[in-house]
Amino acid sequence: MTTTTPLTKPTKPTLYHAPNFSSCRPLGVLVELGLVDFPPTTNNKREMLSVGKKRKADEATTDNNDNDDTNKSNEEDVNEEAADTIHVETITWDQLKNDPMLTELNPHKRLPFFFDPTTGLKLHESGALVEYFLETYDPKHTLHPAPGDPTRPEFLKLLHFGPASAYHVAVHLLFPPSDAKELEAKKRQWHDVVVPTYEQALDQHGGPFLLGDKLTAADIILSYDLVAASAAQCAKELFEPHPKLQAYHDLVSALPFYKAVYPSEKKDDE
């Protein structure tokens, strides 16, 4: 009988994550913001560190071009473990369902789950977590439009469209129902509801990302549903009629955050 190592109670803000679960949505935002202090897998450690390091370096350069002393300070801050990082605890299904400590913290036994021992905050739901992380850790609005920005309403719609709507289509295409009529209904929803939502945003804002020329958390959170659909047996049928969606997926899947959160099965050569 396989034994699972008991989890210890966290001492710093912690996101509980399992590969390919919807916890990938908030994890992608943390990775892009450079807030991950413990990569979910050793294979994608370099990717996670490099994404955040580059973003922090870019912000330091933008904000402090005219101040050498401040630049030096910011360069010192761009390291693998920032002071305000989030611990990522990658867990197994058995730990989610049976670990005593985690069950005490998370009696609903659902992912994603976030716990901050410094405040006692416990939070579920990927959309809520993404909003919380953006409000708390992205004051410069690098990944989300500020209040009053004309793109903010569309951003909020897309942010919640993934978990609330696209997910319930994509997951049933990845794990198809046995009833053929039900499967066909999900395919129609993909073509008639999900795809138009992506493509209308791309058309409205001119691409290449959903809100224009800048990557936002909307792209990160909606990438999860494209991952699920692209892994479905009927993936060719889902993407081939939609070259614009395919091109968008090709773009996003080449980004560092995507490679870090959704590592390929190919192992590093090192």
The predicted pLDDT at position 37 comes to 74
- pLDDT at residue 264, rounded to an integer: 73
Per-residue pLDDT reduced to its tens digit, 50-78: 444 455 555 555 455 444 444 444 434 43
Query: Is the pLDDT score of 165 beyond 90?
Result: yes
Length of the chain: 270
Q: What percentage of the chain reaches a pLDDT higher than 70? A: 80
Backbone angles phi, psi at 260, to 5 degrees: -75, -45
Do residues 127 and 221 make contact, with C-beta atoms less than 8 angstroms apart? yes
Q: What is the mean pLDDT of residues 238-248?
A: 98
Span 9-53, pLDDT tens digits: 999 999 999 999 999 999 999 999 999 875 555 444 444 444 444
65-74, 150-159, 179-188, range with the lowest pLDDT: 65-74
Amino acid at 251: L
pLDDT in tens, 123-137: 999 999 999 999 999
pLDDT at 265: 46
Give the pLDDT of residue 44. 46
Both tokens of 149, joined, read 């920005």
Query: What mean pLDDT value characterizes the chain?
Result: 85
What pLDDT does 214 receive?
A: 96
Q: Residue 206 in 3-state DSSP? A: coil
What is the enclosing helix (H) or strand (E) of 24? helix 24-33
Are the beta carbons of 144 and 38 closer than 8 angstroms? no
pLDDT above 80 for 231: yes
pLDDT of residue 118: 94
Q: What is the pLDDT of residues 88-104, one digit of tens each?
A: 999 999 999 999 999 99
DSSP 148: T
Helix H, strand E, coil C: the string for 98-128 is: HCHHHHHHCCCCCCCEEEECCCCEEEECHHH
Mutual angle of helices 243-253 and 195-205, in 10-degree steps? 80
215-230 pLDDT, tens digit per residue, is 999 999 999 999 999 9
The residue written with tokens 């390929």 in the block is 264
Q: Please name the amino acid found at residue 14.
A: T
pLDDT > 90: percent of the chain? 77
